[in-house]
Structure 1
């Protein structure tokens, strides 16, 4: 995965407005953030991107690393002529944001990590998941997503079906490569070097990145804030869009006010 990889992206919102970059979760595409864009694009220039092998971004040569994925985001910003951004991401998208803020602090104004981690649980399990998806495709992951991506009461909704459609459409190699990037990601000892305001948001019922795991990001950052959203799991920005978008918008606005 090289910095020259062209990430498929979409831009919404007015020219010249402050830029917000949204990074998606494993097995989803940029439409994960449709609810957020509906609110944020009134005031911000919103850039969404697809991970390799997800949505409109083709599978690229591996191995994938979080540093390489962050460099691909930097390359996208360079192509778009964008200097500094507010960054928010879900799960691996939030990990990419942490890597970006650490490796390129001059490019990031604020960071929001949603259902993410500085080190994901069970690192040895991720290569095993990658091998399983390479053999059986992303369809093999669908049955395990209710209760992980969203609480059981959310299953059966149109939004849940839409999310599972994103997973089914994800290329096996892109999904597997991102699993391998997750397995080697660990920035716990670097978070004290973050120089931007950090908001970490957890789903109260998320088994993939439980609240205590998400809280570590805020606790280790010099300027960190932690929030929990009730009755939500891993893709809480779709389960509870009003609450998550409100927290994100408040965080971005507070940083903008402080740096005006």
Structure 2
């Protein structure tokens, strides 16, 4: 467990894998923390790749500054962490909010990112009225007030029948409400359609057939902005396919990294 002072906030981060390997950076979704990636990391190569994860500000064990936040601040947090740990020419894997961070980081600092995986995300997600309604609900009743509907959007019907659902509901409700709302405000104010369409780098999109937050068509539209980008649809999975279908998810990541010579085959 490590803490990095960005100058604006404190980020909790950790490193796994080969310390001398090619860097792979993971960015979590709204309402989760770096444990989101545990099921996938168990299935990725142990040699040749250096895995770096962190909790977005306001989430997990990272500090929770007063909100609202801007997407620019979330991107700058990530940029400073990657500079600090020396993660240049990384493959950056971001899910939902993390996918928006990935897009902005690639536009801003192409020296840090040689390939991106944009999972269950979009160039723009929802609209201001939708996000403001959710912020108002959390202000009125805490994250518990939106927990059940969030689980419906996040997970497939089959996953709802498993006891593991409660683990993710607990993770959501134990996030600080200030950080959750702060990041919702950041997503609300973000439209990366124009900037992402200027990207020219290897990219892979991943979607889940039962995703109620960022449906497959949204992810397809996003990947259509980046020439040559790939797209994978994971069936029987919702907004967090790395949780519901970690074997398939890991296979897609491995194939993508192999295709650009990142890691053991580089």
1:20 corresponding residue in structure 2: 24
Task: Return the alpha-carbon distance in structure 2 between the equivalents of residues 3 and 67 of structure 1.
Answer: 14
1:145 match: secondary structure: helix
Cα RMSD after superposing both structures: 1.8
Give yes or no for the alignment of 1:68 onto 2:73.
yes
Deviation at 1:216, TM superposition (A): 1.3
Contact 2:9 2:63 (8 Å CA) reproduced = no
1:231 corresponding residue in structure 2: 236
Deviation at 1:128, TM superposition (A): 2.2
Deviation at 1:213, TM superposition (A): 0.4
TM-score (norm 1): 0.94
1:164 corresponding residue in structure 2: 169
Task: Return the alpha-carbon distance in structure 2 between the equivalents of residues 55 and 48 of structure 1.
Answer: 12
Task: Return the alpha-carbon distance in structure 2 between the equivalents of residues 234 and 25 of structure 1.
Answer: 9
Which residue of 64, 81, 104 corresponds with 1:99?
104
Structure 2 residue ranges without an equivalent (≥5): 1-5
1:34 corresponding residue in structure 2: 38
Question: Aligned pairs, how many?
Answer: 259
Task: Return the alpha-carbon distance in structure 2 between the equivalents of residues 157 and 10 of structure 1.
Answer: 29
Deviation at 1:62, TM superposition (A): 3.2
Residues 93-132 of structure 1: pairs in structure 2 closer than 5 A: 93-132=98-137
Contact 2:20 2:50 (8 Å CA) reproduced = yes
Which residue of 6, 10, 15 corresponds with 1:11?
15
Give yes or no for the alignment of 1:250 onto 2:255.
yes
2:208 corresponding residue in structure 1: 203
Task: Return the alpha-carbon distance in structure 1 between the equivalents of residues 169 and 34 of structure 2.
Answer: 14
TM-score (norm 2): 0.92
Contact 1:133 1:172 (8 Å CA) reproduced = yes
